[in-house]
Chain A
Amino acid sequence: MNTSDQYQRKIVTIVTEAAIETQLSKDLEALQATGYTITDARGKGSRGVRNAGWETSGNIRIEVICDTTLADKIANYVKEKYYKNYAMVIFMSDVVVLRPDKF
């Protein structure tokens, strides 16, 4: 596997409330992320158990692979807009991609 610089990307992971899925995906598209993956999630954090037991208490996990500049942009924008009122965790890490032209 090629791990040289041109194959290095960031993956931004956002774990948050299912209620804002539509809004958040619109935001990502507006920020020009080329794609994202959403999965249903469950867990516990500072805002209590989010067990997906009720329609509005579900969690989602959104992952975006992109370059460092966009990753920072996404993280800052989302943080600014949602951190105050929504249960949300954002983190990012390095990934190696096989088709750099895709991200």
Chain B
Amino acid sequence: MRLPPQIYEFVSILLLLAIGLKGGVELAKQPFLTLVPDMLAVIVMGFALPVLAYPVLLQLGKFKRADAASIAAHYGSVSVGTFAVAVAYFGTIEVFYEEHLPLLLVLLEVPAILIGILLARGFSNQTKWSSVAHEVFLGKGIVLLLGGLVIGWVAGPEGLTSVEPLFFDLFKGILAIFLLEMGLIASSQIAGLRKYGLFIVIFGIVMPLFSALIGCGLGLLLELSIGGTAMLAILAASASYIAVPAAMRISVPEANPTLSLTASLGVTFPFNVIIGIPLYLELAKVMHAFFKG
């Protein structure tokens, strides 16, 4: 059983736009300049995570340079699917989080890709940065999220009332269909797990836990709310499976694409959705209590 590819495509477009629109509406309520420190800090985190993951993959994982760089890039970037689940979960249990997190989500997609290419290649002239930029910035992730943010920002809550039933009221139903397909795809990665062994499984679980700690720490530093801190931890912990694989296939072709996809899609995505999200929320609560009294 599989969803028809066009239905999956449609469902993911709706999710991306819905997250963008929702974020844009909320973003309009606050002055943009106050967000700049958060934005810069998150970009730094996006550069740092792959740099931290890379030596582990190289030394402990014994991966080739290109493979280590590619996997590291996947884990520095974000998964919009995981974020969508967190949005629905926080909505249900009524946890507040800052309005600009969707904006941070967009920002986190990119730096890891650049670092991944640099780790694999060094500063080489061979990389066609224009085609990488084309792939990344004109990919559906950035275009729809950013587009949604801008539209939501300009239109405001009143402007969007007419499309609300489709994008906001149906959000959880659409997400459920998306997750059904994701579950099917994740389970089809299990063959890869058998092939690449235990290290991928361990890395796929330990790396998000470690990243979540960093995300939580940064959330505290930026004085986000408990929900916002948890969301930032979720963003840090999630691994890309759309934007990064496409960019890496083009710019680091010698890296084995099934290796990184098995880890991010077969291990980390289900782990984050089932165990990670509630766990990171608890972590944010504990850390807030500890550091803020």
Contact = CB atoms under 8 A, between A and B. Distances in A.
Contacts of A55: 242, 245-246
B261 A19 contact: no
B261 A54 contact: yes
A85 B185 contact: no
Given A22-B131, A23-B131, A56 B250 contact: no
A57 B188 CA distance: 12
A86 interface: yes
A55 B248 CA distance: 13
B147 interface: no
A19 B242 CA distance: 12
A20 B251 CA distance: 10
A58 to B, nearest CB: 9
B62 interface: no
Given A52-B5, A55-B242, A85-B254, A19 B185 contact: no
A23 B132 CA distance: 11
A84 B245 CA distance: 18
B131 A19 contact: no
Of residues B2, B134, B185, B249, which shows the largest number of chain A Cβ atoms within 10 Å of its Cβ?
Answer: B249
A52 B3 CA distance: 12
A86 B248 CA distance: 12
Contacts of A86: 253
Contacts of B246: 19, 55-56
Contacts of A54: 185, 241, 261, 265
Interface residues of B, number: 19
Nearest to A19: B249
A53 interface: yes
Contact of B253 (A52, A53, A56, A85): A85
Of residues A48, A52, A55, which shows the largest number of chain B Cβ atoms within 10 Å of its Cβ?
Answer: A55
Nearest to A86: B253
Interface string B58-101: 00000000000000000000000000000000000000000000
Contacts of B253: 85-86
Nearest to A40: B5
B250 A23 contact: yes
Interface string A74-93: 00000000001110000000
A56 B261 contact: yes
Interface of A: 17, 19-20, 22-23, 48, 52-57, 84-86
29 contacts: A17-B249, A19-B246, A19-B249, A19-B250, A20-B249, A20-B250, A22-B131, A22-B134, A22-B135, A23-B131, A23-B250, A48-B258, A52-B5, A53-B2, A53-B188, A54-B185, A54-B241, A54-B261, A54-B265, A55-B245, A55-B246, A56-B246, A56-B257, A56-B261, A57-B257, A84-B254, A85-B253, A85-B254, A86-B253
